[in-house]
Amino acid sequence: MPNSAIPVITIDGPTASGKGTVAQKVAQHLGFHYLDSGALYRLTALSALRRNTPLDDEHALAKVAEHLHCHFDGMHIFLSNEDVSDAIRAEVVGNTASQIATLMPVRQALYGLQLGFRKAPGLVADGRDMGTVIFPHAALKVFLTASVDARAQRRYKQLIDKGFSANMKDLSMDLKMRDERDTHRSSAPLKAADGAHHLDTSEMTAEQAVQQVLSWYAAVKTN
């Protein structure tokens, strides 16, 4: 199957909107591969922090991104064969990832790596620019959102479940700051792709959101 014929579903949205959970479940249901593009930026951030790479040196950060030795195994994410699934979810890593994601050299360094995840029988990719930049010709594009309160509650539960400390007020402020940074960055800002289906999950369960995405994809396949 030529690469261009491999179906892609993109699910973009802000931090803690639930796009990762929904994308994983959709991929599992369809038997597709899954790309958590945000994890690549978190892996870059984690590597940079461990190496004490200056966060204002975009070229040094790009080199870190270029030489990522990582792979995904189900729910687990490995960096140089170390399971860093929990480590990359720490707030300092997330904040650093959001900062370096504004840098064009870093985004360019990760561009080809992301394209490489498109393999038969298909791919579900979640992030902030999957439908606008990385896979603009995706079969289905979804822009998934939720209120700041709903997202803060989800993020709080996620952190507590993983053993991290968390404060709801601080999380809400952090989400607003990330939204501002992501939507106003000059390179690949967070926005809905042309033709994307909008899905607000504030009052939805993950399973309800998954079923909606699968319904949209079924409609695309029959057209």
> Tens digits of per-residue pLDDT, 8-29?
999 999 988 999 999 999 999 9
Closest CA to 176 of 199, 154, 147: 147
Q: Cβ distance 139 to 42 under 8 Å?
A: no
Q: Cβ distance 128 to 110 under 8 Å?
A: no
Q: Cβ distance 168 to 176 under 8 Å?
A: no
74: region left, alpha or beta (phi > 0 left; psi from -120 to 50 alpha): left
CA separation for the pair 41, 104 (Å, rounded): 12
pTM for the model stands at 0.89
What is the per-residue pLDDT for 77? 93
The answer on whether 14 is annotated among ligand-binding residues is yes
What is the per-residue pLDDT for 35? 94
> Could you report the per-residue pLDDT of 69-79, keeping only the tens digit for each?
998 887 789 99
> Tokens in use for 74?
């189900």
**Residue matched to tokens 């409609």:** 219
What is the per-residue pLDDT for 1? 65
- Phi then psi for residue 125, to 5 deg, are -120, 130
The answer on whether 195 is annotated among ligand-binding residues is no
> Tokens in use for 148?
């700041």
Burial class (CB in 10 A: 0-12, 13-18, 19+), 10: buried
Closest CA to 11 of 121, 131, 116: 131
- Helix, strand, coil fractions of the chain, as percent rounded to 5: 50, 15, 35
What is the per-residue pLDDT for 103? 92
The answer on whether 145 is annotated among ligand-binding residues is no
The answer on whether 4 is annotated among ligand-binding residues is no
Domains and CATH numbers, the chain: 3-218 (3.40.50.300)
Residue ranges of the chain with pLDDT lower than 70?
1-2
The answer on whether 132 is annotated among ligand-binding residues is no
> Tokens in use for 203?
């009052």
The answer on whether 19 is annotated among ligand-binding residues is yes
The answer on whether 17 is annotated among ligand-binding residues is yes
Total Cβ atoms within 10 A of residue 180: 10
The answer on whether 25 is annotated among ligand-binding residues is no
